[in-house]
Chain A
Amino acid sequence: MDFLLPASLLVLSPLIGGLLEGTFRKLNARMQNRVGPPIVQPFYDLFKLLQKRPILINNYHVIMAYAHLVAMVIALATFLLGGDFLLVIFFHGMSLALLSMGAYGVRSSYSQVGATRELLHILAVEPVLIMIAANLYLNTGTFLLSEIFNSNFLFKSMPLAFLALVAVLPAKLKKSPFDVSEAHQEIIGGPEIEYSGPFYAPIYLAKWLEEVLSAGLIAMFFLGNPVITLIAISVTFTFVLAVDNSTARLSYWDMVKYTWEISIPLVLVNLVLNYVGVL
């Protein structure tokens, strides 16, 4: 049982991720007073991508897309199977780094600009997540998720750390105001622009897994009662989408600045409060 649930979640993660993505699009449409696509639309998209004519600019550009997906799977597997939380953060960062390596591998101005911005996403997100990990250690005495998952309702002792996580989610999920690496109106998808057809599919799939991983990070704070967990995930994601729809994109520098100015102090205050025993 201990192994069955995480393993099945891992196997089903593309399915869950696809549905999550579909729900996002539906919700997004509703917020903009549109009907929106059906919830299973992402799956249609994926299959269509796979059937397209394969075209490529150079071979390692494509290899990096697959590597990006593989690293994301390893990060997600480490998370779900209860591995070390620090490793989840680093593997996730590695996955982004591989995407940007691929994007640097073609001589396209949009792709190259996007690659640099992708790296700044790492800079914005990774330190905050590691500080959250440090805070988790203070509360649970371990980095092992298998033990952290046994804790009940971590939100109670780490509310500010959770808010810090919410503050970096837009940068992590590439939602406005921090969708700087994709920035469709500006650099037309950034690192993704030069991928097409079946070679774009791994990146598309990795995006779903990224959403599952983010859901998992939110869930980590609200374990114990499955209903509360689900409510917390939906509320948080709805909030992120609402922000996505109501804000304009900031510059990449502002992304690093704001995520830091908001998140780092939040985690630090939480750390201090835990340290002195208030929370």
Chain B
Amino acid sequence: MMNDGAMIPISLVLIPVLFSLLNLAIPSHKARKIVTYIGGGVIALLSFLLWLKTPIQVSLHPNVNSLIILLDYALIFYFLKEGIVYKHRTIVSLTTVQLVLLSILVAYFHTESTYFIVDRLSAVMALIVGTVGSTIAVYSTRYMEEGEDLNRENRFLSVIFLFLGAMNALVFSDNLEWIFFFYECTTFTSYYLIGYRRDELSIRNSLLALWMNQIGGIAILLSAISSAYIHGTILVQELIKTGALLPISLIVIGAMVKSAQVPFQSWLLGAMVAPTPVSALLHSSTMVKIGPYLVFRVSDVMDGTTLGSVVALAGAFTFTSALVMALSQIEFKRLLAYSTIASLGAMILCGGIGTPLAITAGITLLVFHAVSKAFLFLEAGISEKEFHAKTLEELFGLITKGPITAWMITFGAIAMALPPFGMFIGKWILIQAAVISKQYPTLFLLVFGSAVSVIVYMKLIGRVLAGRETERPRKSESLSPTYLITTLVCVVAIAILTLFYTSFANSVIEKVTEDIIHKSLIESGIREKGLGLILNAGRIDSWQLLLLFSLAFALPILGYFHTWRKADLVYEYTCGEPIEPNLGAYYFLDKLNDEHLSRIFNPIASVFLLLILLMGVL
């Protein structure tokens, strides 16, 4: 069943690998820069082509199967070696378990299925990986020039491209054995890049990420074995048809590990020691999206089941608890990490509810989160390299040093938390979906979390904006073109996708949703009217979207360019106190310290995990 687009998925896997090898081989930084630009462009273009040609089914050479098994063993032995070198007992034992399980799978339940199946869900994931991924790869060529060892940069870029290939292959695979392999590949890239700086903390955190993700790998392997043993298949499409809950609940657990859902959140927080492009690419916009991706894959089965409700509740719990923990964060990147965990929780919640409306909300969140959060991480990288500001305290008054960066951060935070941007639209649809399907406990956690997210992001804006007209810099900071172009690409993408949300929903999001729920969306009652959206129980009108959109853009534009000529400039009144106050942000440390909170949240979340497993067994 070859059709005309068959070469695209294959090249989306092989071309990144090719560029990975190229980058490894090229000794000069400048040459690598050019290669990365070309590679990013080609991959982005191919991912657009892929979307146009979907659905595609490609039959690969039968030997690919053997090759993957071979590489799989090689990878597991590499992990075993790392575990032994670092004397890490957990890694050694988890790897041994993987080795045994994989051998059982290969020996008894091997399936000669060598297909890449690309439906719209895979294609939209590949689109995110291709566009956001290559933007970040380009950005990283500039980021690495400042204060990093350029002699090792070839490995960095090489692993980044390797990741793009592995990620694409994962979303094209239908075979659980392959999904396991590519899942482990992303674990490897994540492990390598977290430990990239080779200092003690980096190595410790990379080992933490490794063993936690291996639990996810074990869950996927167990899912494959149980599915093969009970239902005689390791193909996800066939598994969905059987409606078997045990393999599905195991897939969900694998998904939750990869998405760093509570109680697994610590590996993602540790991952923030990696260079910022890594956090932007792997740990916010793409790799951790494997979680929602896998949940969406199986969500059709969960719709209306108790398993679905428990998954939704677990997602909602992570959403809220991660945001509450974000309140106490002083480090910018850790704050973003917690909010990433929360957003992933919201997407998993959508998959758990599983109604067409919830899935629509989930895909909206998936796309917009990838762009907005990658954008905020890019800004975090810029403020780290250009202004040496890593914490919210150091970001205080950034506007007097770097107005462009300050307004960019402001815009990013608004795009994450406030109307009318896609993240908000997604949350709005999600709340409707939760109310309509009468999931009240889930709804309650969701509304609480969404109010907390406003606090988190407004606090961030408050830090960068604190300034004075008299201290307004004559000249803005000079940012390198690479920084400017990559961040502007994100801003423009967010703006266009929000303004034309209805066309975007019509041509992309709803198509993806239809592929997930395997039926037409007509009865779900989502209709477009102008720029607005009409749902069964609610609506957002064009005028509301347009007004809020102009308002949101007026803030940074007027804030940057406008001055009141007729007004007199004064200092703060502050009741006449003559001393310059030392203003810190409020971190709620007395009540909401994340270390204390995680001791409460982790056991609760573990109960949810057990419940998910239990629902699978019953």
Give the interface of A toward B (CB within 8 A). 53-60, 62-64, 67, 70-71, 74, 78, 83-87, 90-91, 93-94, 97-98, 100-101, 103-113, 115-116, 119-120, 122-123, 126-127, 130-131, 133-134, 137, 141-144, 188, 193-194, 196, 199, 253, 264, 268, 271, 275
A56, A141, A143: residue with the most chain B Cβ atoms closer than 10 Å: A143
Beyond A60-B558, A143-B435, 20 additional contacts (C-beta under 8 Å) are: A53-B568, A56-B564, A58-B467, A59-B559, A59-B564, A63-B559, A64-B555, A87-B540, A94-B418, A104-B459, A104-B461, A105-B466, A105-B467, A116-B459, A126-B450, A131-B447, A134-B443, A143-B537, A193-B574, A194-B572
- A131 partner residues in chain B, CB cutoff 8 A: 443-444, 447
CB distance from A156 to the nearest CB of B (A): 21
Nearest opposing residue in chain A for B466, CB measure = A107
Whether A78 pairs with B544 at a CB distance below 8 angstroms is yes
Stretch from B16-24, B273-281, B580-588 that touches the partner: B580-588
Interface residue stretch chosen among B33-41, B232-240, B490-498, B546-554: B546-554
> Distance (Å) between the CB of A197 and the closest chain B CB?
9
B580's contact among A74, A85, A107, by CB below 8 Å, is which?
A107
Verify A107–B583 contact, CB threshold 8 A: yes
Beta-carbon nearest neighbor of A146 in chain B: B539
A65-B148 Cα distance, complex, nearest whole Å: 43
Q: How far is the CA of A197 from the CA of B195 in the complex (A)?
A: 56
Q: Is B454 in contact with A119, judged by CB distance below 8 angstroms?
A: yes
The answer to whether A100 touches B458, judged by C-beta atoms less than 8 angstroms apart, is: yes
Task: Across the interface, name the chain A residue whose C-beta is closest to B558.
Answer: A63
Cβ of B518 under 8 Å from chain A: no
Is B538 at the interface (CB under 8 A from chain A)?
yes
Residues from 560 to 587 in B contacting A, C-beta threshold 8 Å: 562-564, 566-575, 577, 580-581, 583, 586
With a cutoff of 8 Å between Cβ atoms, the chain B residues found around residue A53 in the complex are: 568
Cβ-neighbour of B469 out of A58, A127, A196 (below 8 A): A58
Q: What residue in chain B is nearest A141 (Cβ atoms)?
A: B537
A91 to B567, CA, bound (A): 30
Q: With A74-B544, A86-B428, A101-B461 in contact, is A271–B538 under 8 Å at CB?
A: no
B531 at interface, CB cutoff 8 A: no
Which residues of chain B come closer than 8 Å to A115, judged between CB atoms?
A: 458, 462
The one of A57, A101, A112, A264 that contacts B569, using a Cβ cutoff of 8 Å: A57
> Which residues of chain B (465-496) have a CB below 8 Å from chain A?
465-469, 472
A105 to B447, CA, bound (A): 27
Q: What's the Cα separation between A120 and B410 when bound, in Å?
A: 20
What are 6 A-B pairs at a CB distance below 8 A? A60-B559, A67-B551, A67-B554, A91-B419, A107-B580, A115-B462
Are the CB atoms of B428 and A112 closer together than 8 Å? Answer: no
Contacts of B563 in A (CB 8 A): 59
Chain B residues with CB under 8 A of A144: 537-539
Contacts of A109 in B (CB 8 A): 574, 577, 581, 583
B129 is an interface residue with CB less than 8 A from chain A:
no
The 8 closest A-B pairs by CB, nearest first: A104-B462, A60-B559, A54-B567, A108-B572, A58-B469, A143-B538, A84-B538, A130-B447
